Each structure stands twice: as structure tokens, then as C-alpha cells.
Amino acid sequence: MNKSELIAFVAEETGSSKAEAERNVNAVVGAMSGALAKGEAVSLHGFGNFSVKERAARTGRNPQTGAEMQIAASKTVGFKAAKALKESL
């Protein structure tokens, strides 16, 4: 399911227009992105937890040349599925 399919599903389930459903989906995604950008975790009961994870700097290899290179430290988003979501699969 992509974002446009999610918007169509929300519109159908709530009986609202696609424009209103798009605003609602964008608001939820924006709130989650904003919280993660601040370093906060986002927990959706029954679905899972999103959190910011830090990757340490490390040495890697260029796959074309085999030369060693430094990979800078970075942040990424981690997701842990809730028990209810795991059981539904």
C-alpha cells in the first residue's frame, strides 16, 4: 500500500473526501516526522514503536575499488512491531 492508496482507504472508511483524508494523513505523518526529528519516540498502540537510532562511525569498503573509506556516524529510524501486529501476520 502506498500513500495514495492509504488516502483512498481512509476516505472510504471515514466517509470523507479524498482531500480531507489527505490532509489528515499528512497531519499524522507530519506529527510523527516532527517527533522523530526531535529525537522522541512514537508509539502507536497495537501497531508498533518508531524510535531514532544512532549508527556509529565505521570503516567500510568501496565495492568497486575495494578501497577502505570512513562512513560517518548517522541517525536512522527504527521500528519494532507490537505484539498485536505480529500476531495478525
Supply the pTM of this predicted model. 0.76
Residues 62 and 82 in one domain: yes
Residues 34 and 67 in one domain: no
Domains held by the chain: number: 2
Residues 29 and 53 in one domain: no
Residues 75 and 56 in one domain: yes
pLDDT of amino acid 48? 95
pLDDT of amino acid 64? 92
Residues 25 and 50 in one domain: no
pLDDT of amino acid 73? 95
42 beta partners: 50
**Segments of the chain with pLDDT less than 50:** none
3-state secondary structure 16-64: CCHHHHHHHHHHHHHHHHHHHHCCCCEEECCCEEEEEEEECCEEEECCC
Residues 3 and 29 in one domain: yes
pLDDT of amino acid 34? 95
Q: Which domain holds residue 83?
A: 44-89
